[in-house]
Amino acid sequence: MAAEDASVLIVEDEAVIALDLQAELEDAGWTVMGPAASVSQALSSIRDRRPTIALLDIELRGETTFALAECLRKKGLPVVFLTGREGRERPASLRDCHLIQKPADLSRIGALLRNLTAKDVAAPH
């Protein structure tokens, strides 16, 4: 899948990081949904549109994105987590999701998203 055909949901409560991610991914041809700063904003943004993949900060102000990740995975969407906390534990059901430590190389994130969406399209359903 070409990035031009793909959309990414960004859930990140740190505005500078969210805007940097958005700019990097849009420059790479992605359609960005969000960035959402809370789980409720993320749910609103996917109400009428389905992203190709989700990029979720684990810890938002006062909440985690684990329930959102579970919901997205049940719909067959790949999820990539971002975290600023080294050694951050995830529920067993989400341990196979990629985890990127912040601060992260933005081009590395774009490459990972491309690889994951290419695998998702190539995999038999």
Domains and CATH numbers, the chain: 3-120 (3.40.50.2300)
Say yes or no to pLDDT of 1 above 50. no
pLDDT at residue 4 is higher than 70: no
Query: Distance of CA 47 to CAs 33, 44, 85, 92, 104, Å?
Result: 11, 5, 30, 27, 29
Tens-digit pLDDT profile for residues 60-70: 988 999 999 99
pTM to 2 decimals?
A: 0.87
Candidates 51, 109, 41; CA nearest to 99 is 109
Contacts of 75 (CB under 8 A, 6+ apart): 50
What DSSP element (H or E) covers 34? Answer: strand 31-36
Cα–Cα dist 108/114, whole Å? 10
Predicted confidence (pLDDT) per residue in 24-76, tens digit: 999 989 999 999 999 999 999 898 899 999 999 999 988 999 999 999 999 99
